[in-house]
Chains A and B, each alone.
Chain A
């Protein structure tokens, strides 16, 4: 369809007029959104936007560098607690606090990335799983972190401006989401991103070609942890309250699910995956209220299972989705999108 004449045309962010128009529509609708929408949906979009940040960061690690992490809830927790504590105890201004929190998470990511140099696949998954669980254990037992009771988040204040409701937090979160998604998209187009991809495809070949594997693997971990840490800091304000149980193993798996559902190795896929998975996650909390399906599930629960355990339906569904994606559509939603696009390209012939 389109001919690429040089490398920069190939990696251009917005390739043609249609993309520019769509992108403009997206930006305008995201700006207008808080003025027309009820509060609940703003909360939902905030939640989704934060998960987009995490998923983009995690995808840099999983999809681009080919390393796996089951401990991202740990970084998420580090970001959330660091931001909250810096603002509560040391009265650091918001922007500074969240950036410091991001770098703190990145430092932990760097440390966790060090063993990653020697490990691949299964070992790395195990080590990161252990990391995630160790973080929540420590947080739950130290009184500075509020123990199992958790911490109340301070109000989100930037200079004289104080964000009181979801609508005002929305502006801050969207800013971060946009900046960080763009940054990720740009990272993948640079020397660093190409090094990541080379490592994913074959780390031995990459090393033979002069890519410094040790440096780039730890860098991938650190960047990914930075994204997750910042997202964690933002999440603290959306929830208004944090405790260790939010950041458990299931949360890590949920992040992984977002990457896998969206499609590993694409930024657009990350956005789609995070949106779909977090939307489902929130909506299915009250699955019995969904017409049709809800009645059916309630009936099943009454007959064979238990009504009080019905919210667990989410886990069952996500588990099946994960397995189905591996079996049938490895590129996830992005793969479906690509195939649809290719199918319609020559329509009606």
Chain B
């Protein structure tokens, strides 16, 4: 029973961790919580849907195409909108991301209508593997493995590649990075692209368990925020751990307290964490510039 709970928590937590990672990557670079994250992922998921139902491309290729699309989408949004705000305050940037959220939400609703669609991912949600009394569906297994692989890739990316290191430098000190010859504008674009790809993965993996409509990512968005806040918004490791922790807590809450109100756990988590540990559960200090 408890093992099953942990596994279910891990599976759904992987999704939250992905969304949270996507957010934290942007937050570290642009100092803005990206409220358009969910809609970016939703639009990418719709793109995957179009490729999947067209039957002209094998699904592996379709998913690859989706990731490319997501990358371009992230870069384009950054270039068209975020970069245009000159010397923005936090409030300005939040408004810009909310504006993008509205635009994407509207465009998706305009293009695909409000009706709910089934997302035809050929990984089964109902067939299961059994490991020592614990049942995992193939989809959940895929989600968990994808999340872990992606975390490994991100770690390697930030640790060993030139762009990754340049990204870290830009996040730490924009001006110093620029002085050292890093094209910070390009780096910001790439950051948004990568974040968008991670979000798209989360969307594609989440859509089969839900139904595809323009509200697809609202719930995961707030969960992702909760996970990111638990991790402190500033640390990738924290965001991942926060995602898993939230998934676990949610299932615990659903089992012992109330299944119906499971979705308010995220809000409670945000408020409680911010109240007692504003810098997140896993980081040490909280600082601000005057």
Contact = CB atoms under 8 A, between A and B. Distances in A.
A83 B88 CA distance: 40
A320 B85 contact: no
A323 B113 CA distance: 24
Given A122-B32, A256-B98, A312 B266 contact: no
Interface residues of A, number: 54
A236 interface: no
Interface residues of B, number: 53
Interface stretch (B52-60, B128-136, B222-230): B222-230
A301 B109 CA distance: 12
Interface string B190-214: 0000000000000000000000001
A316 B100 CA distance: 9
B22 to A, nearest CB: 14
Interface string B111-122: 111100000000
B73 interface: no
Interface stretch (A5-13, A133-141, A176-184, A214-222): A133-141
B101 A253 contact: yes
A82 interface: no
A319 B110 contact: no
A319 B102 contact: yes
Contacts of A315: 102-103, 105-106, 109
B267 A133 contact: yes
B95 A326 contact: yes
B270 A127 contact: yes
* Interface residues of chain A: helix, strand, loop or mixed (majority): helix
A86 B42 CA distance: 40
B261 A115 contact: no
A319 B103 contact: yes
Contacts of B99: 318-323, 326
A209 to B, nearest CB: 15
A95 B222 CA distance: 36
Nearest to B269: A130
26 contacts: A62-B91, A70-B98, A115-B275, A118-B275, A121-B90, A122-B233, A125-B33, A126-B33, A127-B274, A129-B222, A133-B222, A137-B261, A301-B110, A305-B110, A306-B113, A308-B114, A312-B106, A315-B103, A315-B105, A318-B99, A319-B105, A320-B99, A322-B95, A323-B103, A326-B85, A330-B92
Given A115-B275, A118-B275, A326-B85, 16 more contacts: A70-B35, A114-B275, A120-B90, A122-B33, A127-B271, A130-B222, A137-B261, A253-B101, A310-B110, A316-B102, A316-B106, A319-B100, A320-B99, A322-B96, A322-B98, A327-B84
